[in-house]
Amino acid sequence: MRDWIEEQGVVVVADEAWATVRVERKSTCGSCSARTGCGNGVLSEVLGRRALELRVPNSDGLKAGDRVTLGVRDHALVSGAVVMYLLPLAGMMLVPILLGWLFPGLADVVLIVAGVAGFALGLVGVRRWLRSQEQRFQPVLLGRQPAATSVMPASATGRLSGPGA
């Protein structure tokens, strides 16, 4: 695995302390054979392609219009995903099992409600864990391309020259 998971963005607002970076959400739909059976495809249809705005410390003198590369450590993202999926699932399964073991003969409805409560407790646990680990998930500025160099001036023909033109 690489050390960083990277994403490109554009600075929309910057002051001396903080910069707000807009990152377009990307979907990998269409790039694999799963397409219709993929939860990512369904999720991207529901959420749409809205932009995400992140605040990052502005220690490098970022200005509005600068293109930046942000990164999050890959092991932080993987451990976060494991906790986010497994803790609610464990709560949903273990709470009814424990109640059924402690109180044999409980009605199925009670065990179902206990499973929902265990799931909710797992979500609360995830929220607390994420808050305690907030610094690990803070995006870090990995690269910067100042706004002045991202678009070259128009030539005599009126066409733009430079990257992406």
Whole-number pLDDT of residue 89: 97
Whole-number pLDDT of residue 31: 58
Q: Tell me how crowded residue 96 is: count the other CB atoms within 10 A of its CB.
A: 21
pTM (two decimals): 0.63
80-89 burial, b at 16+ Cβ within 10 Å, e below that, comes to beebbeebbe
Which 3-state string (H, E, C) describes the chain? CCCEEEEEEEEEEECCCEEEEEEECCCCCCCCCCHHHCHHHHHHHHHCCCEEEEEEECCCCCCCCCEEEEEEEHHHHHHHHHHHHHHHHHHHHHHHHHHHHHCCCCCHHHHHHHHHHHHHHHHHHHHHHHHHCHHHHCCEEEEEECHHHHCCCCCCCCCCCCCCC
What confidence tens digit (pLDDT) does each residue in 92-117 have? 999 999 999 999 999 999 999 999 99
Whole-number pLDDT of residue 147: 78
Q: Low-confidence residues of the chain, pLDDT below 70?
A: 1-2, 26-49, 148-165
Whole-number pLDDT of residue 146: 85
Whole-number pLDDT of residue 27: 58
How many whole angstroms from its chain centre is CA 86?
Answer: 17
Nearest Cα residue to 51 out of 74, 81, 21: 21
Whole-number pLDDT of residue 122: 97
Whole-number pLDDT of residue 158: 43
Whole-number pLDDT of residue 32: 64
